[in-house]
A and B are shown apart, each in its own frame.
Chain A
Amino acid sequence: MANGTIAVSEKSFYEESTNKHSGILAWLLTTDHKRIGLMYLYTISGFFIVGVILGLLMRLELIAPGETIVSAQTYNTFFTLHGVIMIFLFIVPGLPAIFGNFFLPIQLGAKDVSFPRLNLLSWYVYMIGAVLVLVSLFLPGGPIDTGWTFYIPYSVRTGTNVSLAIFAAFVLGFSSILTGINFVTTVHRLRAPGMGFFRMPLFIWSIYSTAWIQIIATPIIGITILLVILERAFGVGIFDPALGGDPILYQHLFWIYSHPAVYIMILPAMGVVSEIIPTFARRTIFGYKAIAFSSLAIAFVGYLVWAHHMFTSGISDTARIIFSLLTFIVALPSGVKVFNWVATMYKGSIDPKPPLLWVMAFIVLFSIGGLTGLVVGSLATDIHLHDTYFVVAHFHYVMFGGTGTIFFAALYYWFPKMFGRMYNIKLANWGVGLFFVAFNMLYFPKFILGYMGMPRRYFDYLPEFTDLHVISTVGSWLMGITMIIVFGNIFYSAFKGPKAPRNPWGGVTLEWHTASPPPLENFHEIPTVTREPYDFSQLEEMNDESK
């Protein structure tokens, strides 16, 4: 496939630029999807760390009832910012913008995405949105305190900088849409010769499904945000009942986007899992088509379940019953994926390296998150648990235990390819183990607190909840330490790690057919695809081509 590699330039994309500049400008003006993916990695990780610090401060405040370290108003801005940053700046863009950007073209056998300049623009739009969030913190009026859901009427009445903060979400939406358009086009137009849709790696399928949700659902939040800004600025009565509007209409519009957005967050993670398990089990994926089509099913049915966020809002009983039923249906494709992943380990040749350990942690945590989703999808139990800590625990298990865990899995899987270096495997194993313990200590008590009746977004709480809060806070400290280990290992190894070979794990998708780190246009010669994506019988000849 890559015979004659040695004759061609050996330079990696770090050493060759798409423009005539060098130094920082070579990065800021680059149209190389790999460099753009890395710029997303640095900025998104930065915001993730800010979100983690806010979370640690919230947990510290909640270690005892009453005021501990911050005032009620500050706490309310903390949980709002924690939500806004983690959702709009970390999880929604996270996996597609970082790993989608870096690996989608390589796995397709393409030189770049379809619209490289649009790709760079998406990063700038993301940065403008992020800067607007930061600016909104420091303007008079103070940081936003509405919760990340911006529910009306409170968000129209509060004096904090709501308009600017939600305008930032509006801007970030464009980054998401542009990235989605770019990926859909790339998948349709730039597949290597021989790469039919059913020869695409499952990561591509998941990014492709996600991209469609980004394109179709994001405009709805954009329009809703503009209406809220109009309402705040000019008193147009669309949502605020005092002006003749309907606050329930706002909730509908908000969740019509924000529920599909949950699948924007989780689908790419599922795609990464479908890459990692075959590589470390060294056998083909079990149920390729079942996994591929379940992504599309989730993307489709995911549009039809939004009102399960509103079971107590006063919508009609008929609506509540229908949405509950649909919610149970959307659980099925996720279950199908989990069963197929586990079956992929059957009769494999399993080497539990750190990326696989992350995935195993994911399967347990995501299953807990998904199964407790059944509890809050059921009407009787949701009436009790809606807006309690049970929901907080549930979505942290899905978002952080699901997508967050896979963010690390992807980082530890593709790090050698992206940086051409290897991290400390032993420390990485410790990182996963500590993460699993810290995670459950931090979030599991919240299930019990929720069932006991502790509502969410509470600065203060009843004395009987104290013990479980203390356990959770101690868990947050352990999580803080774990994050230092997990990021520290990567950060140190990016500079000082030993050189990584082109295929350290024995993967067979196209990214493992090129150098670590890859050359500027990914391949010296566009590969021709003759095999299905997870055909490990080619491993031996791959060893030859790397010589």
Chain B
Amino acid sequence: MYFLLSGQAASRTTGAVDDVMLYITAISLLLLVGVTVTMIYFVFKYHRKKGHKPVDIHGNIWLEIIWIGIPTILVLTMFYYGYLGYKTIREVPEGAFEIEAKARMWEWQFDYENGKSTDTLYVPVKTPIKLNLESFDVNHSLYIPAFRIKEDVIAGRINYLAFTADKVGTYDIACAEYCGLKHSMMYSAVVVMPEQEFASWYEVDSTKVEPASEMAENMETN
């Protein structure tokens, strides 16, 4: 799958989620192949023919115990790994850099502590970020696929989303909760910058809105 080819992960959460995905997918694949192959084998092996008498077997308590017991253990390990990955997603380190992320139909706005306001999210690399999510109207959801994270943006309450980007680059931000006519065009981007570069960008005293990222422009011209 494509995440295996993408080299160094974009963020710590990317790796955490992909690992859980691989674990569950591998076990699921084994179970699926096991069930399918057994079923097809039985259909051929016990194909109806003359002189071949079926045997009535009403069940077997040991088999039932085994195929309740083993899957129980398997799904509990899946739950546990999912929980560990989730802890990585949700934990906000002390002193994380806080940004207010605001959504309205159909655009994003990012307000920084020093009064800067942009429609694209700029963050320094390797720095814990905490986004405080707020909606001006209906439900939205701030989704950064490259980091494998999202959280709904809901009017009347402040949800949060935390991440630490590991790799400089530009990543999509999508709206993942249906919000009406232009829901699918509510794209923005997170621009992960080297710390120095971010610092100089952050210090420049400008409250003007930066141009949208290339990706967002692409979407509009489509």
Among B61-69, B115-123, B193-201, the stretch that binds chain A is B61-69
Highest count of chain B CB atoms <10 Å: which of A335, A388, A455: A455
- Chain A CB within 8 A of B208 CB: no
- Do residues B149 and A384 form an inter-chain contact, with CB atoms below 8 A? yes
- Do residues A380 and B46 form an inter-chain contact, with CB atoms below 8 A? no
Dominant SS among interface residues on chain A: helix
- Chain B CB within 8 A of A281 CB: yes
- Residues on the B chain within 8 Å of A66, using CB: 222
Contact A380-B178, Cβ < 8 Å, known A282-B48, A325-B79, A462-B219: no
Among residues of A, the one whose C-beta sits closest to the C-beta of B150 is: A312
- Do residues B81 and A380 form an inter-chain contact, with CB atoms below 8 A? yes
Highest count of chain A CB atoms <10 Å: which of B55, B60, B152, B218: B152
- Chain A CB within 8 A of B93 CB: no
- Do residues A332 and B71 form an inter-chain contact, with CB atoms below 8 A? yes
> How long is the Cα–Cα vector from A371 to B183 in the complex, in angstroms?
30
Contact A284-B2, Cβ < 8 Å, known A314-B154, A383-B86, A463-B218: no
Among residues of B, the one whose C-beta sits closest to the C-beta of A379 is: B86
- Do residues A383 and B71 form an inter-chain contact, with CB atoms below 8 A? no
Q: Which of A336, A360, A387, A459 contacts B67 (CB 8 A)?
A: A336
Whole-angstrom distance between the Cβ of A448 and the nearest chain B Cβ: 7
> How long is the Cα–Cα vector from A158 to B180 in the complex, in angstroms?
8
- Chain B CB within 8 A of A246 CB: yes
- Do residues B151 and A312 form an inter-chain contact, with CB atoms below 8 A? yes
- Chain B CB within 8 A of A331 CB: yes
> How long is the Cα–Cα vector from A455 to B156 in the complex, in angstroms?
24
- Do residues A286 and B58 form an inter-chain contact, with CB atoms below 8 A? yes
> How long is the Cα–Cα vector from A308 to B110 in the complex, in angstroms?
29
> How long is the Cα–Cα vector from A44 to B45 in the complex, in angstroms?
39
- Chain A CB within 8 A of B99 CB: no
- Do residues A313 and B174 form an inter-chain contact, with CB atoms below 8 A? no
Among A114-122, A340-348, A416-424, the stretch that binds chain B is A340-348
- Do residues B35 and A283 form an inter-chain contact, with CB atoms below 8 A? no
- Do residues A388 and B176 form an inter-chain contact, with CB atoms below 8 A? yes
Whole-angstrom distance between the Cβ of A420 and the nearest chain B Cβ: 25
- Residues on the B chain within 8 Å of A452, using CB: 2, 145
- Residues on the A chain within 8 Å of B21, using CB: 375, 381, 451
Q: Which of A147, A282, A378, A458 contacts B54 (CB 8 A)?
A: A282
> How long is the Cα–Cα vector from A290 to B68 in the complex, in angstroms?
10
**Total interface residues on A, using CB and 8 Å?**
89
Contact A287-B64, Cβ < 8 Å, known A154-B139, A328-B78, A383-B148: yes
- Residues on the B chain within 8 Å of A153, using CB: 137-139, 155
> How long is the Cα–Cα vector from A457 to B143 in the complex, in angstroms?
14
- Do residues B28 and A248 form an inter-chain contact, with CB atoms below 8 A? no
> How long is the Cα–Cα vector from A282 to B16 in the complex, in angstroms?
49
- Residues on the A chain within 8 Å of B90, using CB: 317
- Bitwise, B84-113 to A at CB < 8 A (1) or not (0) is 111011100000000000000000000000
- Do residues B154 and A324 form an inter-chain contact, with CB atoms below 8 A? no
- Residues on the A chain within 8 Å of B35, using CB: 338-339, 342, 363-364, 367
- Give the residues from 350 to 375 in chain A that come closer than 8 angstroms, CB to CB, to chain B: 350-352, 360, 363-364, 367-368, 371-372, 374-375
> How long is the Cα–Cα vector from A119 to B219 in the complex, in angstroms?
52
- Chain B CB within 8 A of A145 CB: yes
> How long is the Cα–Cα vector from A363 to B17 in the complex, in angstroms?
28
- Residues on the B chain within 8 Å of A387, using CB: 141, 143, 150, 176-178
- Residues on the B chain within 8 Å of A351, using CB: 47-48
Among residues of A, the one whose C-beta sits closest to the C-beta of B20 is: A380
- Residues on the A chain within 8 Å of B185, using CB: 460
What would 16 A/B residue contacts be, using CB atoms closer than 8 Å? A76-B181, A153-B155, A248-B154, A282-B48, A286-B59, A324-B79, A331-B75, A332-B72, A342-B38, A347-B57, A349-B54, A378-B24, A381-B24, A384-B17, A456-B178, A458-B184
Residue numbers of B with Cβ under 8 A of A are 1-3, 16-17, 20-21, 24-25, 28, 31-32, 35-36, 38-40, 42-43, 46-49, 52-60, 63-64, 67-68, 71-72, 75-76, 78-79, 81-86, 88-90, 137-139, 141, 143, 145-146, 148-152, 154-157, 159, 172, 174-185, 187, 215, 218-219, 222
Closest 8 CB pairs of A and B: A453-B145, A380-B85, A241-B156, A378-B82, A379-B86, A371-B28, A458-B184, A345-B42
Residue numbers of A with Cβ under 8 A of B are 65-66, 72-73, 76, 145-147, 151, 153-154, 157-158, 241-242, 246-248, 281-284, 286-290, 312-314, 317, 320-321, 324-325, 328-329, 331-332, 335-336, 338-340, 342-343, 345-352, 360, 363-364, 367-368, 371-372, 374-375, 377-384, 386-388, 448, 451-453, 455-463, 535-536
